[in-house]
Structure 1
Amino acid sequence: MGKGEARMFSGPLEDRVAIQELNGTYADGVVRADAETWATVWADDAYWNLMGMEVNGKEAIVGMWKGAMGGLEAVSFHCVPCMIAVDGDKATARVQTQEIMLTKEGKTRVIGGLYEDELARRGGAWVFTSRKFRIVAEYNPEGASH
């Protein structure tokens, strides 16, 4: 879709709401540091690209996430789907994120990011088959490096 695309949201409303709820489940897992909840949003054969780090398969994805979360005391994670296009049992989406992270060393990091997603309906439920994340903007008052 180009920048001039008028309909950023397309496809059945019920599916778009389910995908919004999937993002809510993702965010809830992050905020509560609950790997079991967070893992439910992924397809078994999913792909995750986290700022250039590529991981394949749900088990490896959850393992990498647990490692990343291990250095954090707390995370406030907000996400807003800004495009969802559903076509049958497949969908694409763009999701803006805002995160406030508190490290175990007491440093704060504030990040605005963007996910570019591919999803599929599997067993009647929507799951992420591919998520690519990049940082769009960052505010770091303490000067901690990326």
Structure 2
Amino acid sequence: MSIDELQAKIDRLESRQAIEDLASTYCHGFDKRDEARFLSIWWEDCVWAIGPPFGDFAGHAGILSALHDVLWPAWGMSQHITSNQVVEFTDPDHATACCDVDCTGLLSGSPNATFVGATYTDQVERRGGLWKIRRRDVVIHYFNSFEGDTLSKPE
């Protein structure tokens, strides 16, 4: 194996770890209400496509609006757990990352636990040596709640 091949393999391993860390940083930032940590994983020109019932959000301003105006007010508390992470590179600086997520939490105003299962599919890019999310598409598979609980934007 040549030194160039070895360097490419090391770069791929380091890149894969950095991309997988984005999913964990997302969870910690969201669940601990750490705005700076959460925002650190997104490129300024990002799109966070959550879909119904919340909508899609673009750029850092959109991300902050999603957090402060929609999601954090809807969830009194949450805990995300990600699994089944798969990273596929299209070139050294672009990849698609996919993971499944289980989120347990309390909707605002409810004492009952709720359970959400979803898949996150990310388009990630390395710019200036840093990996961040350019686009995240969210597919919600199930939302299990107790009678009277609904997953919706706060009024």
For the criterion TM > 0.5, the same-fold answer is yes
TM-superposed deviation, 1:23: 1.1
Name the amino acid aligned to 1:73.
G
Distance 1:13 1:76 in 2: 28
Question: Is 1:139 aligned with 2:141?
Answer: no
The structure 1 segments of at least 4 consecutive aligned residues displaced by more than 2 Å after TM superposition are none
| 1:77 corresponds to | 80
Unaligned runs of 5+ in 1: 1-10
Partner of 1:12: helix, strand, or coil? helix
| 1:61 corresponds to | 63
Name the amino acid aligned to 1:58.
H
Name the amino acid aligned to 1:134.
V
Root-mean-square deviation (CA), in Å? Answer: 1.7
TM-superposed deviation, 1:143: 4.8
Q: How many residues are paired up? A: 136
Q: Once the two structures are superposed, what CA deviation does each residue of 1:101-131 show, in whole Å capped at 9, x if it has no partner?
A: 2123124320010111100012211100000
TM-superposed deviation, 1:63: 1.5
Matches within 5 A, 1:112-131: 112-131=117-136
Contact 2:124-2:133 at 8 Å conserved across structures: yes
Larger Rg over CA atoms:
2
Query: Greater share of helix residues, 1 or 2?
Result: 2
Instruction: Please point out which of 81, 91, 94 is paired with 2:95.
Output: 91
Between the aligned residues of both structures, percent identity stands at 24
* Length-normalised TM-score, structure 1: 0.85
Unaligned runs of 5+ in 2: 1-10
Contact 2:77-2:107 at 8 Å conserved across structures: yes
| 1:15 corresponds to | 15
Contact 2:20-2:85 at 8 Å conserved across structures: no
Partner of 1:141: helix, strand, or coil? coil
| 1:5 corresponds to | none
TM-superposed deviation, 1:12: 1.4
Distance 2:31 2:114 in 1: 15
* Length-normalised TM-score, structure 2: 0.80
TM-superposed deviation, 1:65: 1.9
